[in-house]
Structure 1
Amino acid sequence: MDRRKLMLAGGAAALAPALPAATGATGRGKTAPDWRRGFDNQRIADLGDGRFLNPLISGDRPDPAILKDGADYYMTFSSFDSYPGLTIWHSRDLVNWQPRAAALTRNIGSVWAVSLEKHAGRYFLYIPVKGSPNGTYVIWADHIDGPWSDPVYLGLPNHIDPCHAVGEDGSRWLFLSGGDRVRLANDGLSLAGPVEHVYDPWRYPEDWIVEGFAPEGPKIHRHGGWFYMITAVGGTAGPPTGHMVIAARSRSIHGPWENCPRNPLVRTVSAAEKWWSRGHASLVEAPDGSWWAVYHGFENGYWTLGRQTLMDPVEWTADGWFRMKGGDLSQPVRKPRGGSALPNGQPLSDDFAGPLALGGKWNFFKPAPGEAARASAGGGVLALQARGTAPSNSSPLLLIAGDQAYQFECDIEIDAGGTAGLLLFYDERLYCGLGFDAERFVTHQYGIERARPANPHGRRMRMRVTNDRHIVSFHTSGDGGASWRKFDRGMEVSGYHHNVRGGFLMLRPGLYSAGGGTARFRDFRFHAL
């Protein structure tokens, strides 16, 4: 049986030479078990024995905004330049999550940390963007799956990371970066006052190695007669020891706020730890009444995967504060009890038998108005009209892959004058991949074209990309995958990440169509290694 048939049958052994198992080594002499595997062999948190192993949701799921809605939990993440964006994920046990629908379809800019709330029976998303203009928008829906309203611009061009909060007097507020807040109108769709400064965040010792003070990501929780404000300081990326979680509390939404005497509540203290730059936390109550914090962090050595969502057990203390109990999160944690487990994650493979899963799986990068009209799927074919001349200006279609090593392949056919291929894409200035036209390959590396050797396959071929823990190789086939030819250029991509390029993104697998005509993609297969 050939490699492709083994891949389609789920035979992981056919995908690559033997690879070292992911052991979860922490650098402290401990070894955690490997993750369980789900769709397409992707790692999942639930170990199946009453425990889970972080990440809660792998891949670039930064700035988690979580909402408890009766027996249901909903969560979404910063989606930056990917559209449709703000995909809502659903869980009933806090450990097993699956995506539902994207809330934001119109490109309003780069979407940063949002607030997901329910108030008076209506769902709200408060969305800060870097765009034209900068500022915060709000959208609303009467059902979590939408339809969501058109974005309403609120202003606030000098602030990020809004958090909706309701005071003891029923007043509605957005708490903002820098210790500021602003009052909302009763319907939550406009501002009802000026921005005011209400909190001076706790400061870490001067000799700590951080990216910068950057107080951001405030989250307001009401519990036991107190309002708690949880804030991130120390910078989102940069040194692994920078990002951290601090807390303050007040009897009133109007303050005054007192800092927790045990700040910081979470901080990476060594680059040897499993998770770096941990911060931006929210509190949530589990079905069994236990409390948990969800926040993000970079996986040791894998800035390329972006900031992944983590979950940490919380203990309320006798003095009315709380602490995190998960340590460095390198070891399995006992799951909360109760709630029914949903299927975990989603398959990334796509047979294109029906409409394209835009927002649920695939996203365009920086799409123009009407971008979705370029793509149509059905009958086993994704037809993607060409745009631009290269991946940098073609608005490629991308996925979020959360494993350290994986392989993806696809059958690609182009029209005369077209160019298409497969990518590992960070942004329009930093990506790699392999494309082809009717006569020549085009090699993409560092976000530029590197070589154009002859293409022996013509206008149709099958292409495979392997990312084996940052070592990238390409294979092509002219007979549908019965035999493969290794392409004579390998790459190393450990530097394709935020600390090199900025932008807060991740290195994502995807595909593109440029030049002229339409490219047809068939039988897209993803498999984690």
Structure 2
Amino acid sequence: MDRRDSLKFLAGAGFAAGLGLPSLPLRAQGSRASSSLDPYAEMRWGRGFEGQRRADLGDGTFLNPVFAGDHPDPSILKDGEDYYVTFSSFDAYPGLVIWHSRDLVNWRPVTAALRTPIGSVWAPELVKHDGRYFLYIPARFPDKRSIYVIHAERIEGPWSEPIDLDLPSHIDPGHAVGEDGERYLFLSGGDRVKLSRDGLATAGPVEHVYDPWRYPENWVVETFAPEGPKILKRGDWFYMVTAVGGTAGPPTGHMVIMARSRSIHGPWESDPNNPIVRTRSETEKWWSRGHATIVEGPEERWWMIYHGYENGYWTLGRQALLEPIEWTADGWVRPLGGDLSRPLRKPRELGAQPHGAPLSDDFSANRFGIQWAFYDPAPDEMARVRYGDRTLHLRGKGTSPSDCAPVTCICGDQSYRIEAAVEVDPGAEAGLLLFYNRRLYAGLGFGDDGLVMHRYGLQWPRGAIPGQRQTGAAGPVRALRLRLTNQRNILTIHTSADEGSSWQKFDVQMEVSGYHHNVAYDFLSLRPALYAAGGGEARFRDFTYTAL
């Protein structure tokens, strides 16, 4: 699918309304760029929109990740023959994008369920109970923490406003229904709370019900951190799948453990082969594998979906991985995928299926929620946005990328290029970034002070940029086309004053492999971003994304 077809697709697909996407032909498979320094350089991925990597190889097999780029803490729901999944969205709003699949490999966005900012969203739980859909959402503002619930009659929404469950000391809820028909949320640290029958309030105090299995003292991990409990009922047993070992830190830290009980009230016995999933060496393809949910897939085969960091690419965040499992004769789960560096047979073959969504945007329709999201927005952030004449009009805010709530999107390619035409009013500054958080970003903007380079989360106006050759006109800059190329964590910037007919390379190139959680916390990824700071307005046209 070329870029023009992608944009035609967007115009008719109902993104802003949160509708399902029509079927489209699979783009031809391609191979990744190779590097003698990369032990996995010869791996092949399928290709989707704009050459973005996808798991489906088009030959009945798939190669992880099933969700490239930052898709952590997956919560998956089987609903008849349909599967839905959502992920932590942290500081991005609109957030909690829900995805749909029939084969567990190819996924399409349905809607962004959370519209009202309640803080940074961690490890939600998507469930269906008595014909109604629920999302249980841990969220953190600097001065408030709790778990909230939203609900809907249809997965497409509309979803309700958040309801505060007043659980300030826990994260990572896992919904369960006991043998008595009562509803519970299992919580981090081995705790649990009973829910009201409608699932919209707690119905008792938090209680400690489970002491998780602990790894040997000499293992190299981040910290114990028992979290992400997921409850599954199969046969006469309740199974609890939990993450321990810390989320990032050393590549060998995060892991998946399992326990079971014949009653929702315990006692819980640990799997004698814990951990059932673990990265054992930093030479493996996927690091810090954990936070799993078990689901019955097509043809009565069972699967586990969890997240992991890609070897050498902490900057892409935690990506979603799919692994086949089997049930043993004594009633435990055993994974079958190894280190997930090689293709696996797909759960179900449905022929050519679309996956993901194009990232190029001609700004003819509002794609906030499905593609774009504000970083750490105020409740009224969308008031800054206006569409018209295939242009995104973005009113300035704050003084720099650190405090202006940049507009970001998630991508999953090791190398890619973004471009956009940018105009600014007097008093405004705008540009393109690779943005991790308010403390760490890189890119180029312009405005009253001419060009402004961003590196390490710091700003250098023209004339103060170390080592920069002073080329081009001095004084204010009002319009440029900008191009950022991220080639395996090397950022190169080009500018064009004639709408892309000719390009000038910016004098400073940047190495950004350290722009990630282990350096700057926040559990995020390095993302393409648009920003507008200061007074006045910035205008963005013809945003293009190309996987390299």
Measured after TM superposition, the shift of residue 69 of structure 1 is: 0.7
Spell out, residue by residue over 1:384-437, the C-alpha distance to the aligned partner (whole angstroms, 9 max, x if none). Answer: 111111111111100101111100000011112211100010111111110001
Cα distance in 2, alignment partners of residues 56 and 153 from structure 1:
32
Runs of at least 5 residues in structure 2 that lack an aligned partner in the other structure: 7-30, 464-469
What SS does the corresponding residue of 2:298 show, helix, strand or coil? Answer: coil
Measured after TM superposition, the shift of residue 31 of structure 1 is: 7.3
Measured after TM superposition, the shift of residue 152 of structure 1 is: 0.5
Structure 1 residues 7 and 117, CA, compared in 2 at 3 Å: closer, same or farther?
closer
Cα distance in 2, alignment partners of residues 157 and 481 from structure 1:
51
Q: Which residue of 260, 264, 271 corresponds with 1:253? A: 264
Measured after TM superposition, the shift of residue 339 of structure 1 is: 5.4
Q: What one-letter code is carried by the residue in structure 1 that aligns with 2:399?
A: T
Q: Which residue of 168, 188, 199 corresponds with 1:188? A: 199
The corresponding residue for 2:248 is 237
Cα distance in 2, alignment partners of residues 220 and 368 from structure 1:
35
Verify the 8 A CA contact 2:451 2:477 in the aligned structure 1: no
What SS does the corresponding residue of 1:500 show, helix, strand or coil? Answer: helix
Measured after TM superposition, the shift of residue 305 of structure 1 is: 0.5
The corresponding residue for 1:498 is 517
Measured after TM superposition, the shift of residue 8 of structure 1 is: 7.2
Q: Which residue of 405, 411, 414 corresponds with 1:401? A: 411
Measured after TM superposition, the shift of residue 375 of structure 1 is: 1.1
The corresponding residue for 1:16 is none
Verify the 8 A CA contact 1:96 1:341 in the aligned structure 2: no
Instruction: Tell me which moved more, 169-178 or 337-346.
Output: 337-346
Spell out, residue by residue over 1:112-155, the C-alpha distance to the aligned partner (whole angstroms, 9 max, x if none). Answer: 00110000010000001122320100011111111111111011
Verify the 8 A CA contact 1:123 1:144 in the aligned structure 2: yes
Q: What one-letter code is carried by the residue in structure 2 that aligns with 1:274?
A: K
Verify the 8 A CA contact 2:397 2:403 in the aligned structure 1: yes
1:55 paired with 2:65, answer yes
The corresponding residue for 1:44 is 54
Cα distance in 2, alignment partners of residues 420 and 525 from structure 1:
17
Measured after TM superposition, the shift of residue 33 of structure 1 is: 3.4
Cα distance in 1, alignment partners of residues 287 and 537 from structure 2:
42
Q: What one-letter code is carried by the residue in structure 1 that aligns with 2:447?
A: D
Spell out, residue by residue over 1:438-491, the C-alpha distance to the aligned partner (whole angstroms, 9 max, x if none). Answer: 451000111111342466393111000001011001000011000000011110
Alignment of 1:79-478 (within 5 A): 79-131=89-141, 132-337=143-348, 342-354=353-365, 356-438=366-448, 440-453=450-463, 456=473, 458-478=477-497
Q: Count residues with an aligned counterpart.
A: 513
Measured after TM superposition, the shift of residue 300 of structure 1 is: 0.2
Cα distance in 2, alignment partners of residues 73 and 340 from structure 1:
17
What SS does the corresponding residue of 2:44 show, helix, strand or coil? Answer: coil
What SS does the corresponding residue of 1:136 show, helix, strand or coil? Answer: strand
1:485 paired with 2:504, answer yes
Measured after TM superposition, the shift of residue 7 of structure 1 is: 8.2
Structure 1 residues 394 and 205, CA, compared in 2 at 3 Å: closer, same or farther?
same
Q: What one-letter code is carried by the residue in structure 2 that aligns with 1:519?
A: A
Measured after TM superposition, the shift of residue 71 of structure 1 is: 1.4
What SS does the corresponding residue of 2:180 show, helix, strand or coil? Answer: coil
Cα distance in 2, alignment partners of residues 308 and 105 from structure 1:
24
The corresponding residue for 2:78 is 68
Cα distance in 2, alignment partners of residues 22 and 101 from structure 1:
36
Instruction: Tell me which moved more, 98-107 or 209-218.
Output: 98-107
Measured after TM superposition, the shift of residue 337 of structure 1 is: 2.1
Cα distance in 1, alignment partners of residues 3 and 69 from structure 2:
22
What SS does the corresponding residue of 1:240 show, helix, strand or coil? Answer: coil
User: C-alpha root-mean-square deviation of aligned residues, in Å?
Assistant: 1.9
Cα distance in 2, alignment partners of residues 516 and 232 from structure 1:
46
What SS does the corresponding residue of 2:374 show, helix, strand or coil? Answer: strand
What SS does the corresponding residue of 1:150 show, helix, strand or coil? Answer: coil
TM-score (norm 1): 0.94
Runs of at least 5 residues in structure 1 that lack an aligned partner in the other structure: 1-5, 11-18
Verify the 8 A CA contact 1:163 1:176 in the aligned structure 2: yes
What SS does the corresponding residue of 1:343 show, helix, strand or coil? Answer: coil
Verify the 8 A CA contact 2:190 2:211 in the aligned structure 1: yes
Structure 1 residues 325 and 26, CA, compared in 2 at 3 Å: closer, same or farther?
farther
What SS does the corresponding residue of 1:127 show, helix, strand or coil? Answer: strand
Cα distance in 2, alignment partners of residues 342 and 9 from structure 1:
16
Structure 1 residues 9 and 223, CA, compared in 2 at 3 Å: closer, same or farther?
closer
Q: What one-letter code is carried by the residue in structure 1 that aligns with 2:83?
A: Y
